[in-house]
């Protein structure tokens, strides 16, 4: 790892506050507060690891965690870098549907 995570504790109050707000608003669709907080902590570690030193670390980390949590809630994304073991704190996941143009398959169905 290129980053030490010794400063993760300075973000804990932010994570707790963010998770509280998210759980109050979307708790009906979240497995548990503990799952939400654990995912936020996981995202924090990824953000700390991905930060390249340019700009404000705190701003980057906060935006990264907030954006990823909401993408998981609203778009059904899995947590990033899950090594083929995807997880989410969301009860009902609505993944984005990708429409693929399959003209040849459809044309074959309707050949006379």
Domain boundaries, the chain: 8-109
Written in H, E and C, the secondary structure of the chain is CCCCCCCHHHHHHHHHHHHHHHHHHHHHHECCHHHHHHHHHHHHHHHHHHCCCCCCHHHHHHHHHHHHHHHHHHHCCCCCCCCCCCCCCECCCCCCCCCCCCHHHHHHHCCC
pLDDT of residue 111: 59
The residue with tokens 């973000």 is 11
Q: How confident is residue 98, by pLDDT bands cut at 50, 70 and 90?
A: very low
Find, among 3, 2, 19, 21, the residue nearest to 11 by Cα.
19
Write the pLDDT tens digit of every residue in 16-63: 999 999 999 999 999 999 999 999 999 999 999 998 889 999 999 999
Give the global pTM: 0.74
Reading the block at residue 17, the tokens are: 């506050």
C-beta of residue 27 within 8 angstroms of C-beta of residue 36: no
Q: Is the pLDDT of residue 83 over 80?
A: no
């Amino acid at each position: 790892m290129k980053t030490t995570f010794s400063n993760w504790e300075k973000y804990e109050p932010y994570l707790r506050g963010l998770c509280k707000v998210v759980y109050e608003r979307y708790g009906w669709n979240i497995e548990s507060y503990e799952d939400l907080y654990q995912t936020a902590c996981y995202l924090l570690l990824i953000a700390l690891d991905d930060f390249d030193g340019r700009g404000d670390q705190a701003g980057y980390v906060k935006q990264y965690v907030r954006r990823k949590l909401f993408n998981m809630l609203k778009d059904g994304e899995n947590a990033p870098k899950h090594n083929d073991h995807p997880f989410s704190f969301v009860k009902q996941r609505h993944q984005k549907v990708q429409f693929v143009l399959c003209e040849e398959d459809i044309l074959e169905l309707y050949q006379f």
